[in-house]
Amino acid sequence: MMHEDCPFCNPPDSNVWHRNDKGIVLWDGFPVAEGHSLIVPKTHVASLFDLAPEDQQSLWQMVSEVREILTQKLSPDGFNVGLNDGVAAGQTIMHAHIHVVPRWAGDVADPRGGVRWVLPDKACYWGEK
């Protein structure tokens, strides 16, 4: 079911750069890095975990495809891949989506901890602050 007011249910064609029968890939509207992409299910659900297992599997396969395409196109040194599941986790658009963010050596001073920095006081587990 599509929702008229959802930006992921009716994105402009110019923002969709890959697709399969279960999902689409969009350029992030507020990218944190070149190539920052969103894998979005065609079914409007708030949480990825509200999808049938085979639909989830199809979207994770898209993550692999997107990673490969971005690797060939941009030659990043790494990736952050993740999702914000629920308001408490930072989700602002209540249509499930997976972020794929290319990363380059030196793009931040110290990338250790990666996604752990969503809780800055707990991110630095190796003792340096």
Note the pLDDT tens digit of each residue in 90-107.
999 999 999 999 999 999
User: Is 97 one of the annotated active-site residues of the chain?
Assistant: yes
**pLDDT for the residue 120:** 85
pTM, two decimals, is 0.92
Residue 83 pLDDT level (bands cut at 50, 70, 90): very high
Note the pLDDT tens digit of each residue in 17-76.
999 999 999 999 999 999 999 999 999 999 999 999 999 999 999 999 999 999 999 999
Residue 128 pLDDT level (bands cut at 50, 70, 90): low
Order of strands across the sheet with 16-19?
Answer: 16-19, 23-27, 37-41, 98-103, 78-82
3-state secondary structure of 101: strand
Q: Residue 87 phi/psi, 5° resolution? A: -60, -45
Annotated catalytic residue, options 36, 95, 97, 99: 97
CA dist., res. 44 & res. 21, Å (int): 14
The size of the chain, in residues, is: 129
What's the longest Cα–Cα distance across the chain? 48
Other Cβ atoms within 10 Å of 63 Cβ, number = 18
